[in-house]
Structure 1
Amino acid sequence: MQNSNSNIASQIIYEDNHLLVINKKVGQLVQGDKTGDESLLDSIKNFIKIRDNKPGNVFLGLVHRIDRPTSGLVIYAKTSKALSRLTQMVKNREIKKTYWAVVTKEMIPTSQRLVHYLKKNEKNNKAIVFPKPTEGAKEAIL
């Protein structure tokens, strides 16, 4: 998905010397994959290079991912030290992802849990959802 520099600028929620938080739109690819589509990572690097008039490569590390069909906040580290610390925070679950769904009809009560099983299809780089345990599928709880 092609992004102009003004588009990236409008998606920045927070930025300092160590990190940058982007409001990712539905359909944007967080990091490169086998589709070859332009990723947010590459778009942001290009944006920073032009905006800050940086010679050479721009360091930008991806702290976590969210799926392409999902919108939401994504954290990128602007230094290797920040990347290491933020990645550890995600691993320790000090930084948590929360997914919200917009529905047209009333959903299950919030006190219940929705459990499905996800199995990745490597050929098309997508996950298949199963309602019950399936060989090779991982449990996904909402």
Structure 2
Amino acid sequence: MSTVDTQEPNENELFEHHRFVASKGQEPLRVDKFLMNFIENATRNKIQQAAKEKHIWVNDAVVKQNYKVKAGDEVKVMFEHPPYEFLLTPENIPLDIVYEDDALLVVNKPAGMVVHPGHGNYTGTLINALIYHIDNLPVNSNERPGLVHRIDKDTSGLLVVAKTEKAMTHLAKQFFDKTTEREYVALVWGDVTEDSGIIEGHIARNPKNRLQMQVFEEGEQGKEAITHYKVLERIGYVTLVSCKLETGRTHQIRVHMKYIGHTLFNDERYGGDKILKGTTFTKYKQFVENAFKVLPRQALHAKTLGFVHPETGEYMRFNSEIPDDMVLCIDKWKHYSKHQQ
């Protein structure tokens, strides 16, 4: 099934709106399951509540959650959520602060923490923690205090946060001008053939699955995206790679690595939570399942961050250790690989 259009949610509104049109090949499917396939954080409870409030329409008629969506149906749903200004509640959440001065701070975000409040994630975010610890953070164009860039919920690693208007403007321009240094470490499926390379391909939202991004080779849609990769270690059926971003698109490394045939290990959204390489032996399958349990997220860590300090003009470069869950998973693969030789 696919969507041909959707209205992106507006965080300043009281309601989150979505609109989808089922593709020609759509088999009959309950509308609640249809919506869960396309809307991030659309839990069954959230959809049931929308249905109770008569906020699900098919072809402009209110339907119940058991309505079967068919090819060509226009599906609309509206979720109620608090206004964005009410989401900015200070919360006493510990932060791993790597560096801090009067202009900025660098924080090491753990996997599982959402960067900013939004649909389905109203508490426990990095911003909730930041506004508890720091007064009067400047606000960016999206009304998000302190944020200059972000990383995915299940990606760990370094972020710089602006504490003054000048710092925000200066840092934002560096990201726009592509002068910052951002290096990630990823564990990917398969043996990456080339020792290093450059992945180029415009990235835009996948028209068949709105929760995914996709590479468009010809650049007829999407935004330019460039990733430089280097093999750090080959470990049997997986490879440890370094990825340096020249651009910063949504899911860039995850999408680019899948594009060249090396999906991130245990990246559920892009199919990396399946056994993509290896044998059919039962013991191997059990080993991979155990590795998934050790690392219950995509194997991606924002290891290095470099930028020019907005006040001093000094180039600053920060490194962070690969977190324990990734280290344990890598060690498991090394042990397995060694015993297969």
Under a length normalisation based on structure 2, what TM-score does the superposition of the two structures give? 0.32
Letter of the 1:58 counterpart: N
Farther off after superposition, 72-81 or 30-39: 30-39
Residue ranges of structure 2 left out of the alignment (5+ in a row): 1-90, 138-144, 228-341
Aligned residues: 128
Structure 2 CA distance for partners of 1:128 and 1:92, relative to 1, 3 Å:
closer
**1:47 and 2:133 correspond:** yes
Higher relative CO (Cα under 8 Å, sequence separation at least 6) belongs to 1
Match for residue 58 of structure 1 among 113, 121, 136? 136
**Secondary structure of the structure 1 residue equivalent to 2:129:** helix
Match for residue 106 of structure 2 among 21, 31, 36? 21
Matches within 5 A, 1:1-142: 4-5=92-93, 7-8=94-95, 11-38=96-123, 39-48=125-134, 58-59=136-137, 60-103=145-188, 106-114=191-199, 118-120=203-205, 126-129=211-214, 140-142=225-227
CA distance in 1, matches of 2:192, 2:110: 24
Structure 2 CA distance for partners of 1:114 and 1:136, relative to 1, 3 Å:
same
Larger-gyration structure (1/2): 2
Residue ranges of structure 1 left out of the alignment (5+ in a row): 49-56
What is the aligned-residue identity percentage? 32
Structure 2 CA distance for partners of 1:132 and 1:90, relative to 1, 3 Å:
closer
**Secondary structure of the structure 1 residue equivalent to 2:184:** coil
CA distance in 2, matches of 1:94, 1:135: 26
Q: Is the 8 A contact 1:115 1:140 kept in 2?
A: yes
Q: Is the 8 A contact 1:119 1:137 kept in 2?
A: yes
The offset of 1:79, in angstroms, is 0.7
Q: Alignment RMSD, CA only?
A: 3.1
**Secondary structure of the structure 1 residue equivalent to 2:128:** helix
CA distance in 2, matches of 1:32, 1:134: 32
CA distance in 1, matches of 2:150, 2:191: 29
CA distance in 2, matches of 1:113, 1:134: 16
